[in-house]
């Protein structure tokens, strides 16, 4: 049938350690017949699916306009992950002088245009905007260079996606959401943030969590709390605060479920004590602003550092947080600091302001806790 065929392209297999990559050229107009874009999203069980951000239409229009001009050239290779339906056949005729890490041959790609996106044998790891521009451009064909690798694991595809884009400015929110479901080698900075990111995404996806779907992320675009504010709060607690008790300091792993229970228990009390302030976006509430999230994170660490997850949500904790109400200016009024008053919304997410608000809140809760 015309909609089912085999695409055979000359290719070069290149050995990199124990891995193989395949370099070849193909008409860009044919890319989407066998390669899909793995859009990042959450399924009904809040499990992460995909890894690509939405198409940037202005970017695509700019590339398309260029492609339709004379002398257009796209020298950068598109990166594709194949599943095991794609095969490489080495050439029978190779020169005795050829290097052993590079083998010429043919890449055999099955094409079935009746398949859904999720069933295609390849995924675009890098180059979705370029491939979309080629798809839409008013040109008969546009051959492009492609580098492919074969894997069955979407987790490895996410890892390659992050690494391929590590020298360019990927949105941090996208990286944070991908990290917990990524395998393979990653830079140290990403490894350090993997566990905090895992906790953050679970806080955002668990229905009993006070953060459920309100942390802004690619799969929760209507969230109003900045993901980086939550990450900083969680990261400090993991390495120096209340969540440290659940970590293995040797390998960095930990009891994620108990960490999550601890966070949910404390922040549920915060939400219940300040329900109106919690429901507002940062521009109208300093509680959901970065300065509030981080400062109350330090309060959590101080009050619950030696408390197990099961013992966090207590009447005493609720009373301590209730005692803050006459002294806080989350949505109106002024903060009465020892060095002077400040309007409620003058506090910003800066180290100095976080430090000032933290000191103020800790002084109040310590007095009450004694």
State whether 194 and 129 are in the same domain: no
Q: Give the pLDDT confidence score for residue 252 in this predicted structure.
A: 65
Higher pLDDT, 12 or 52: 12
Q: Give the pLDDT confidence score for residue 167 in this predicted structure.
A: 47
State whether 183 and 332 are in the same domain: yes
State whether 28 and 76 are in the same domain: yes
Burial (CB < 10 A; 0-12, 13-18, 19+), residue 170, is: middle
As for how many domains the chain has, the answer is: 2
Q: Using the Cα atoms of residue 325, residue 326, residue 330 and residue 336 in order, give the sign of their dihedral.
A: negative
Identify which of 8, 14, 51, 44 has the alpha carbon closest to the alpha carbon of residue 26: 8
User: Is pLDDT at 316 greater than 90 in this prediction?
Assistant: yes
Distance CA 217, CA 206 (A): 14
State whether 207 and 266 are in the same domain: yes
Higher pLDDT, 207 or 190: 207
Tell me the pLDDT band of 66, cut-offs 50, 70 and 90.
Answer: confident
Specify whether the CB–CB gap between 132 and 55 falls below 8 A. yes
Query: How far are the Cα atoms of 104, 202, 337 from residue 197, in angstroms, in the given order?
Result: 42, 9, 33
Q: Where a domain ends, among 141, 170, 199? A: 170
User: Is pLDDT at 170 greater than 70 in this prediction?
Assistant: no
φ/ψ of residue 12, rounded to 5: -120, 120
3-state secondary structure of 310: helix
Q: How confident is the model over 112-140, as pLDDT tens digits?
A: 988 887 788 888 878 888 888 899 899 99
State whether 268 and 187 are in the same domain: yes
The mean per-residue pLDDT over the stretch 34-45 comes to 62
Q: Give the pLDDT confidence score for residue 183 in this predicted structure.
A: 58
State whether 124 and 217 are in the same domain: no
State whether 156 and 44 are in the same domain: yes
Q: Where a domain ends, among 155, 170, 185? A: 170
Burial (CB < 10 A; 0-12, 13-18, 19+), residue 71, is: exposed
Residue whose tokens read 């302001």: 353
φ/ψ of residue 132, rounded to 5: -65, -40
pLDDT mean across residues, the chain: 84
Give the residue numbers spanning the domain of 9: 4-170
Distance CA 178, CA 161 (A): 9
Tell me the pLDDT band of 224, cut-offs 50, 70 and 90.
Answer: very high
pTM of the shown model: 0.56
State whether 152 and 265 are in the same domain: no
State whether 46 and 137 are in the same domain: yes
Ranking 62-66, 85-89, 171-175, 337-341 by mean pLDDT, the lowest is 171-175
State whether 296 and 191 are in the same domain: yes
């Amino acid at each position: 049938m015309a909609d089912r065929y085999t695409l055979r392209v000359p290719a070069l297999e290149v050995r990199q350690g124990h891995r193989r990559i395949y370099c070849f050229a193909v008409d860009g107009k044919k890319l989407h017949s066998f390669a899909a874009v793995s859009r990042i999203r959450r399924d009904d069980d809040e499990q992460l699916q995909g890894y690509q951000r939405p198409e940037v239409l202005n970017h695509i229009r700019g590339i398309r306009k260029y492609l339709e001009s004379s002398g257009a050239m796209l020298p950068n290779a598109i990166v594709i992950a194949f599943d095991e339906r794609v095969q490489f056949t080495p050439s029978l005729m190779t020169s005795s002088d050829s290097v052993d890490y590079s083998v010429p041959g043919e890449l055999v790609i099955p094409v079935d245009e009746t398949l859904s996106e999720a069933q295609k044998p390849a995924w675009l790891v890098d180059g979705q905007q370029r491939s979309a521009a080629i798809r839409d451009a008013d040109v008969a064909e546009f051959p492009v260079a492609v580098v492919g690798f074969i894997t069955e694991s979407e987790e490895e595809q996410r890892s390659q996606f992050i690494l391929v884009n590590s020298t360019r400015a990927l949105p941090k929110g996208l990286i944070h959401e991908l990290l917990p479901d990524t395998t393979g080698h990653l830079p140290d900075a990403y490894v350090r943030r993997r566990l905090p990111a895992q906790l953050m995404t679970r806080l955002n996806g668990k229905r009993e969590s006070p953060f459920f779907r309100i942390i802004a992320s690619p799969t929760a675009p209507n969230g109003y709390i900045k993901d980086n504010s939550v990450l900083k709060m969680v990261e400090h607690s993991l390495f120096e605060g209340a969540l440290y008790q659940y970590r293995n300091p040797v390998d960095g792993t930990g009891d994620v479920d108990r960490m999550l229970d601890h966070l949910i228990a404390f922040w549920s009390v915060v939400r219940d004590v300040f329900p109106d302030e919690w429901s507002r976006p940062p521009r109208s509430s300093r509680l959901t602003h970065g300065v509030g999230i981080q400062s109350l994170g330090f309060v959590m660490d101080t009050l619950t550092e030696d408390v197990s997850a099961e013992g966090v949500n207590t009447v005493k904790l609720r009373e301590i947080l209730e005692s803050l109400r006459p002294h806080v200016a989350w949505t109106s009024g002024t903060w009465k600091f020892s060095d002077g008053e400040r309007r409620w919304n003058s506090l910003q997410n800066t180290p100095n302001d976080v430090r000032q608000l933290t000191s103020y809140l800790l002084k109040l809760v310590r007095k009450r806790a004694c």
